[in-house]
Structure 1
């Protein structure tokens, strides 16, 4: 949207003519208002856009340093310093946001088609959106039902000490989707990765991930809450 500009806009093609147009007109522009409001209000949508940009322009490259430079590498919500009276647990998400994020992930999977297998095998790319959904679903607790850790402990920013992980690695054919991902405390993550009981634990975690993913209630079902941290 070009606010305050009533004349014809420039062609989307070319370079010099477009530059001259913008230099001469200096338009005030931005997203259309409905899109702006969606990006402002939905963290899941913002992360899905980042995933799309990274997948489009950095395919096959390690984008981790770039995301770290702009504060988007971790699972903690950028800009959130801790709970407030209005938002006591800002890392939780609603059922509607969980469903929105899953739809965006599944749409991207469908568009990628068979090429997804080649990309995830040669250069696995992990979705920020999927990681955020799993973290919110976890209620801040390790999703291993056998966990014996310290589930009540948190970081200095009052966020849960959890690592979001794929039960089946992408390189082994797993999906970058919450139905095959879990939030684990560091100890359970280590057991799942290199413990002597890792194969048994992976089977348990696959079941848990599927059950917790399927536990999202329909939006507006009147339940007032949901298993897995969705309000």
Structure 2
């Protein structure tokens, strides 16, 4: 991103021939983000992915963005994560009597709004189809990262298996619930990379779904539960 002091008129896309290089030499753009925007992109996974999408669709149309994203460390499933400590926290006393800091749980309304914004970002990405169309790649870590954040927002920290026998009472070092976001129909076998076909599972339920004898029965249950939760959350956001 550049700042063009005193420039009036069109700004060219970020690819081209010697004419483009001459344009940059004449305009002498100043690189870098203003501090507030830099901080926002550092803290907010949603803002980070939104900017990536805007830049790719506006200035890199028709090009394969993967090498650029890989070089900048943005082509992985952590790209949509918020920076540590970004969420509001509260101090609680754990079972051992120690004071610990845990993220404040989102309300149902907040969770629905969070889910909706992540799903809209997925919808926009599906409409452009940029990575798959330009590279032929089925797996897209950026899309998977967005879908994962959507599912975690929807779960509100609880296992989404309706028959869950109880998730661990412990949390991660960051105070987050110990949950695995699972593609109910395996992504490697052509399963959809979409929250309506994904579920947040505690370690026990994830193990059953992955290698338990009842995994196919659980898979069917999770497909129904995930779709119902998806429709409910998007309906709540619309309402």
* Distance in 2, Cα, partners of 1:143 & 1:46: 27
Partner of 2:59: none
Indicate yes or no: 2:84 matched with 1:79: yes
Whether contact under 8 Å (2:114, 2:153) holds in the other structure is no
Q: Which runs of 5+ in 1 are unaligned?
A: 222-231
Q: TM-score, normalised by structure 1?
A: 0.67
In the alignment, structure 1 residue 171 sits paired with structure 2 residue 179: no
Match of 2:23 in 1: 18
User: Aligned partners of 1:5 and 1:160: how far apart in 2?
Assistant: 47
Residue pairs, 1:206-221, within 5 angstroms: 206-216=223-233, 217-219=235-237, 221=239
Of residues 100, 103, 112 in structure 2, which corresponds to 1:95? 112
Match of 2:158 in 1: 141
The structure showing larger relative contact order (alpha-carbon pairs under 8 Å, at least 6 residues apart) is 1
Task: Report if aligned partners of 2:102, 2:176 keep a CA contact under 8 Å in 1.
Answer: no
CA distance in 1, matches of 2:226, 2:238: 23
**Normalised by the size of structure 2, how large is the TM-score?**
0.66
Question: What root-mean-square deviation, in Å, do the aligned CA atoms of Structure 1 and Structure 2 show?
Answer: 4.4
Offset at 1:82?
6.7
Could you tell me which runs of 5 or more consecutive residues in structure 2 were left unpaired when the two chains were aligned: 57-62, 92-100
1:119 aligns with 2:127: no
Map residues 53-64 of structure 1 onto 2, 5 A cutoff: 56-58=64-66
1:209 to 1:157, Cα distance in 2 relative to 1, 3 A? same
CA 1:210–1:49: 2 relative to 1, 3 Å: farther
Distance change in 2, residues 1:66/1:146 (3 Å): same
1:155 aligns with 2:157: no
